[in-house]
Amino acid sequence: MSEPSRFDRGHTDDLMSFLAASPSPYHAVANAAERLEKAGFRQVAETDAWDGSSGGKYVLRGGAIVAWYVPEGTAPHTPFRIVGAHTDSPNLRVKPLPDTGAHGWRQVAVEIYGGPLLNSWLDRDLGLAGRLTLRDGSARLVNVARPLLRVPQLAIHLDRSVSAEGLKLDKQRHLQPVWGLGNDVRDGDLIAFLEEETGLAPGEVTGWDLMVHSVEPPAYLGRDEELVAGPRMDNLLSVHGGVAALTAVAADSRLSYIPVLAAFDHEENGSQSDTGADGPLLGSVLERSVFARGGSYEDRARAFAGTVCLSSDTGHAVHPNYAERHDPTHHPRVNGGPILKVNVNNRYATDGSGRAVFAAACERANVPFQSFVSNNSMPCGTTIGPITAARHGIRTVDIGVAILSMHSARELCGSDDPYLLANALVAFLEG
């Protein structure tokens, strides 16, 4: 095998650009696809017949993307090496009837998506982004990346107990952002505004999937810029690293596996959708790849039996102000390298054999790694890992990067960890 590509600080700079340009899952996969195209990958339509040609290919479906590279002469039963991630992040999403308001304020009706830290969305300058569906069935991405909305917090003078008793937010009443003034709230105002923003004719938009986002750009933080603050690290950090790793190993004719990136939508609310990890997308793509190369069901079974997936998602770094919330013997630190996530109740899919696969990849890449396990008295989160393992019957290992402020509108990671993760992913994909 060739030596893994050694990403450096420039990878973290590029991650920050990727985060800023990807305010929605639809933008994230479009940006991923653009990078893949530059590396020689080509899009294939699910509605077309697939051929068995070699090279890099990808499928786009909504806010999900699956990309893979097939070296020349690859046998149909060749196993896959998969980097799994997700494109969605907790946030506030626009309701079907978005125009609302009261007491002279014009507001946008939003619904809470996933499990965001609600207080982190207060008093921020917010933009609006997502996907517009037109009358002809086509879609148009939209990104209003300037201050447009704000969820104003109640002044302390009107809630004297907030500092002593904590902030209490009613999810329905207290999180509707303002975006203007006026007593005459008119249905269609927001969509008409977005049609004008995107150069569309009035009435052309008939459907929308829209969400708010902080317009503050990612930035290095700290005396020595050892940290990065930015939005949607959970989990675009892994998507970006997966794209970088896949394009780095593409065109290597000596690969023993078929490298794959699978970035799904809807992880934050259970993955049960046609673009989520609990849907058929990944299995369909892998099977069609086998069959397009002349493989049989037996070849498909052999390929899946030898396949390994790294489910890459962010995890919890030890918090200096809340160390008691962590397991006392497992304290992952930022810039300490990627974390291996373990939970014996299968909230993560890692077992001993999976640990060995990841440890070997990190050793080849000369990347340190850490172990994460939850405090026994705290409930453990989960990932696409157990879903991927159970749905497709493939060995899956849960890994990621340790961060602070997970599910905040603005999260915090170490500036070294993104490229350490990418280097480990390269070594894993190369096998």
Inter-CA distances, 370 with 301, 332, 377, 381, Å: 33, 6, 21, 18
In three-state secondary structure terms, 371 is: strand
125, 108 Cβ separation under 8 angstroms: no
- Per DSSP, which regions of 135-287 are E strands? 139-149, 178-181, 205-214, 219-221, 227-230, 258-264
How far apart CA 129 and CA 142 sit, in angstroms, is 5
11 marked ligand binding residue: no
How far apart CA 60 and CA 384 sit, in angstroms, is 19
Q: Tokens at residue 332, please?
A: 């992952």
138, 87 Cβ separation under 8 angstroms: no
How far apart CA 182 and CA 184 sit, in angstroms, is 6
Q: Is 225 left (phi over 0), alpha (psi -120 to 50) or beta?
A: left
Dihedral, CA of residue 159, residue 162, residue 163 and residue 167, to nearest 10: -150
Residues in the chain: 431
- Per DSSP, which regions of 150-217 are E strands? 178-181, 205-214
In three-state secondary structure terms, 255 is: coil
Strand order of the β-sheet with 219-221 is 219-221, 227-230, 411-414, 402-404, 315-316
86 marked ligand binding residue: yes
How far apart CA 114 and CA 118 sit, in angstroms, is 11
266 marked ligand binding residue: no
In three-state secondary structure terms, 67 is: strand
12, 418 Cβ separation under 8 angstroms: yes
Please enumerate, by residue number, every residue annotated as part of a binding site: 86, 157, 407
Please enumerate, by residue number, every residue annotated as part of a binding site for Zn(2+): 86, 157, 407
